[in-house]
C-alpha cells in the first residue's frame, strides 16, 4: 500500500476515496479500498491506497486521537509511504474540536512539523484565501454552517479557529506563495516548521492550486485537509513509477432500493423536497422518535411497501426545528436516538434483501455503515462531485453515502439509478 487516509467520518472517506481513484484527467488514479473502521486483517495486496473511515469528528478528543493513532499504526504496517488526515471541506469542528488534536498527534507520531492543512474543494465551492474559508462567494460563517447542529462554524478564519485546538501556533502559506509553485511551498513549510508551527493553513482557490500543494508534498509523510488535497497525489506515485494509473470499474447492482436521510443541511432539505414531488417519502418526527412511537419497524414497513418507487425516509428539519428539539431533549440524546434509528433500519433492510442504499448526512452515514459490517469497499464511478459508488462484496450491496451539503437537487433518484449501473 502506497498511501493511507484517516478520515474523520464516513461520507468524507468516500469523498477522498473517489478523488484518489479518479486522479488527474488522462493519468488515472490509484487502486483504492475503503474500510469502515480499522481493519483487523491485512489489506488485499492489490490495494494502492487505503481509506479508513472513522466516526471521530464529534467524539471526545482522547477517543478521536486514539482511533486515529490506531488507524495510523495499521496503515504503517501495510507499508504506506504517505498519510492523509481527511476532514470536511467546511472544517466541521468546534473550538474544542478534534481537527487540531488529531493533526498534532499524527504529526508527532510521524516526527514531522510544517504540515499542510487545507480543506479547500473548489469543485463544490470551498476555497481558502488568506487563511479564511469560503463556501462559494460567502464566508464560512455566513454559509449556513454557523447553524450546524453538532459542529457550528461561526468563524471563517481557520488559523484562529484551529489555534483554539492546538498546542502550538498555526501557520499560513498564502496564495502568493502557492502561485510560485511547489518549490516555494516546500520552502515556506520548512520555515513554518522552524517557527514551531506543526499545522499550516494553505490557501487554494482552484484545482491547480491543489495540484501545486500535492506536488510540494510529494515526499511529505503527512498532509491534512479535505478531499481536494488529494487531487494531485496519485500523479506523484505514477511519476515515481510506483503506480500505473488505475481506472474504476462498476457493473451495476440491481434489486430493491431505499433512501435514508438524516441531514439538516439546506442542500439535503432541497433534495428531499424535490424527491417528494415524484416519489413516496416518510417524514420522521423527532418528538415521535424520542417518545418511542416511531421506530425501525415503521421505516422498514414504509420502504418495503414502496419498493420500486425509490422510497425515502427522512429526518431533515430546519435549523430552528433542530434547535428546538435539542433544547427539549438534549443535543446528544437526539443525535444518538436518530443515529440508532437509521442504523437499525438499514441493518434490517439489508438483511431483508435491499441491495441499493443511499444515505444522506455524515453522522447518519457513519451510524449506518458501522451497523452493516460491510468489509472492504471498492470504489466505483462518481455520482456527483464528492460522492462515489461504494460496493461491498461481503454484503452484496451498493451504496452512496452523501455528505449533507453535496449533490444536485435530484441526487436521490440519480444515485439509485447510478447504483443500478445507469450513470447519467
Any idea what the Cα angle at residue 106 is, between residues 100 and 108, rounded to 5°? Answer: 100
* Cell numbers placing 243: 503506480
If you classify domain 3-239 with CATH, what class do you get? alpha beta
Any idea what the Cα angle at residue 348 is, between residues 344 and 353, rounded to 5°? Answer: 150
- % of the chain exceeding 90 in pLDDT: 76
Q: Which of 320, 20, 83 is nearest to 223 (CA)?
A: 83
Q: Which of 347, 332, 324, 323 is nearest to 395 (CA)?
A: 347
Confidence of residue 124 (pLDDT cuts 50, 70, 90): confident
Contact 328, 317 (CB under 8 A): no
Look at residue 98 and tell me whether its pLDDT is greater than 90: yes
Q: Residues 128-146: what's their mean pLDDT?
A: 85
Sheet of 126-129: strands edge to edge?
Answer: 126-129, 132-135, 138-139
Q: Which of 422, 12, 4, 48 is nearest to 250 (CA)?
A: 422
Residue 17 or residue 94, greater confidence = 17
206 burial via Cβ count (<10 Å: 0-12, 13-18, 19+): middle
Look at residue 58 and tell me whether its pLDDT is greater than 90: no
27-38 residue pLDDT tens: 889 999 999 999
Confidence of residue 151 (pLDDT cuts 50, 70, 90): low
* Cell numbers placing 218: 510529494
List the chain domain ranges.
3-239, 257-420
CA distance linking residue 411 with residue 124, whole number of Å: 14
State whether CATH 3.40.980.20 applies to domain 257-420.
Answer: yes
How far is C-alpha 186 from the geometric centre of its chain's CA atoms?
Answer: 27
Identify the pLDDT of residue 424.
62
CA distance linking residue 321 with residue 305, whole number of Å: 29
| Grid-cell match 469542528, residue found | 93
* HEC per residue, the chain: CCEEEEECCHHHHHHHHHHHHHCECCCEECCEEEEECCCCCCCCCCCCEEEEECCCCCCCHHHHHHHHHHHHHHHHHCCCCEEEEECCCCCCCCCCCCHHHHHHHHHHHHCCCCEEEECCEHHHCEEEECCEEEECCEEHHHCCHHHCCCCCCCCCEHHHHHHCCCCCCCEEECHHHHCCCHHHHHHHHHHHHHCCCCEEEECECCHHHHHHHHHHCCCCCEEEECHHHHCCHHHHHHHCCCCCCECCCCCCCCCCEEEEECCCCHHHHHHHHHHHCCCCEEECCHHHHHCCCCCHHHHHHHHHHCCCCCCEEECCCCHHHHHHHHHHHCHHHHHHHHHHHHHHHHHHHHHCCCCEEEEECHHHHHHHHHHHCCCCEEEEEEEECCEEEEEECCCCEEEEEECCCCCCCCHHHHHHHHHHCCCC
254-303 residue pLDDT tens: 999 999 999 888 889 999 999 999 999 999 999 999 999 999 999 999 99
Identify the pLDDT of residue 96.
87
Contact 128, 204 (CB under 8 A): yes
Asked if domains 3-239 and 257-420 share a fold, the reply is: no
Look at residue 382 and tell me whether its pLDDT is greater than 80: yes
CA distance linking residue 404 with residue 419, whole number of Å: 19
201-242 residue pLDDT tens: 999 999 999 999 999 999 999 999 999 999 999 999 999 999
Q: Which of 204, 125, 217, 124 is nearest to 158 (CA)?
A: 204
Q: What is the pTM of this model?
A: 0.85
Amino acid at each position: 500500500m502506497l498511501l493511507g487516509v484517516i478520515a474523520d467520518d464516513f461520507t468524507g472517506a468516500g469523498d477522498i476515496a473517489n478523488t484518489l481513484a479518479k486522479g488527474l484527467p488522462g493519468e488515472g488514479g490509484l487502486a483504492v479500498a475503503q474500510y469502515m473502521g480499522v481493519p483487523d486483517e491485512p489489506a488485499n495486496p492489490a490495494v494502492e491506497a487505503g481509506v479508513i473511515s472513522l466516526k471521530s469528528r464529534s467524539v471526545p478528543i482522547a477517543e478521536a486521537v486514539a482511533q486515529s493513532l490506531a488507524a495510523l499504526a495499521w496503515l504503517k504496517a501495510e507499508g504506506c509511504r504517505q498519510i492523509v488526515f481527511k476532514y470536511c471541506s467546511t472544517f466541521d469542528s468546534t473550538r474544542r474540536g478534534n481537527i487540531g488534536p488529531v493533526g498534532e498527534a499524527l504529526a508527532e507520531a510521524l516526527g514531522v512539523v510544517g504540515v499542510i492543512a487545507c480543506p479547500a474543494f473548489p469543485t463544490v465551492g470551498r476555497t481558502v484565501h488568506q487563511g479564511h474559508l469560503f463556501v462559494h462567494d460567502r464566508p464560512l460563517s455566513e454559509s449556513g454552517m454557523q447553524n450546524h447542529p453538532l459542529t457550528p462554524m461561526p468563524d471563517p478564519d481557520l488559523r484562529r479557529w484551529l489555534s483554539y485546538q492546538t498546542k502550538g501556533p498555526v501557520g499560513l502559506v498564502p496564495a502568493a506563495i502557492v502561485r510560485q509553485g511547489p518549490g516555494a511551498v516546500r520552502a515556506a513549510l520548512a520555515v513554518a516548521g522552524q517557527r514551531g508551527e506543526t499545522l499550516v493553513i494553505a490557501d487554494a482557490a482552484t484545482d491547480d492550486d491543489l495540484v501545486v500543494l500535492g506536488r510540494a508534498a510529494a515526499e511529505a509523510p503527512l498532509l491534512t485537509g479535505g478531499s481536494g488535497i488529494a487531487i494531485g497525489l496519485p500523479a506523484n506515485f505514477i511519476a515515481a513509477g510506483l503506480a500505473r494509473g488505475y481506472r474504476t470499474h462498476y457493473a451495476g447492482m440491481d434489486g430493491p432500493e431505499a433512501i435514508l436521510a438524516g441531514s439538516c443541511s439546506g442542500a439535503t432539505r432541497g433534495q428531499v423536497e424535490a424527491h417528494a414531488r415524484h416519489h413516496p417519502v416518510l417524514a420522521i418526527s423527532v418528538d415521535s422518535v424520542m417518545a418511542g412511537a416511531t421506530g425501525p419497524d415503521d421505516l422498514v414497513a414504509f420502504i418495503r411497501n414502496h419498493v420500486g418507487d425509490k422510497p425515502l425516509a427522512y429526518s431533515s428539519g430546519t435549523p430552528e426545528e433542530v434547535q428546538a428539539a435539542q433544547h427539549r431533549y438534549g443535543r446528544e440524546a437526539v443525535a444518538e436516538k436518530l443515529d440508532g434509528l437509521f442504523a437499525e433500519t438499514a441493518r434490517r433492510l439489508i438483511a431483508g434483501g435491499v441491495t441499493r442504499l443511499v444515505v444522506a448526512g455524515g453522522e447518519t452515514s457513519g451510524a449506518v455503515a458501522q451497523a452493516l459490517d460491510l468489509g472492504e469497499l471498492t470504489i466505483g464511478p462518481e455520482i456527483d462531485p464528492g460522492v462515489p459508488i461504494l460496493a461491498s462484496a461481503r454484503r452484496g450491496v451498493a451504496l452512496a453515502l452523501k455528505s449533507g451539503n453535496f449533490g444536485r437537487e435530484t441526487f436521490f433518484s440519480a444515485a439509485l439509478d447510478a447504483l443500478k449501473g445507469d450513470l447519467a
